[in-house]
Amino acid sequence: MTRKLTLLLTCFSLFSFSPAMAQTAAPGAVKNMPAATTKAAPVRTAKSLDCSKQADAKKMHGPDRRKFMDKCKRS
């Protein structure tokens, strides 16, 4: 009986305290995050925007659009 109770209490303590410990952040962890974790939107050139508008006008999607965009930006 004592052995079962000890096992039950051990399991309870492992499962009840582990998630709470895992979710708490270390002090100062949020403040010290590097600035590189936030991504800025890539800068699109005027040529790229023009090619995209042309592809939109032709209602191109998927692989055909990618091929068109590659050709358009290289010309």
Residue (of 36, 57, 48, 39) closest to 75 by Cα position: 48
Q: Is residue 7 part of a domain?
A: no
pLDDT at position 1: 73
Task: Report DSSP letters for 55-71, one per residue.
Answer: HHHTT--HHHHHHHHHH
> In sequence order, which residues have a C-beta less than 8 Å from that of residue 54 and are 6 or more positions away?
68, 72
Q: Is residue 64 part of a domain?
A: yes
The total domain count for the chain is 1
Structural domain range at position 75 = 45-75
Whether residue 55 is predicted with pLDDT greater than 70 in this model: the reply is: yes
**Do the Cβ atoms of 54 and 72 come closer than 8 Å?**
yes
Question: Which residue has better confidence, 55 or 17?
Answer: 55
State the chain's mean pLDDT as an integer: 79
Residue 32 — very low, low, confident or very high, per pLDDT cuts 50/70/90? low
pTM, two decimal places: 0.46
Q: Is residue 57 part of a domain?
A: yes
Q: Is residue 1 part of a domain?
A: no
Tens digit of each residue's pLDDT (9 = 90 or more) over 9-26: 776 666 665 555 555 666
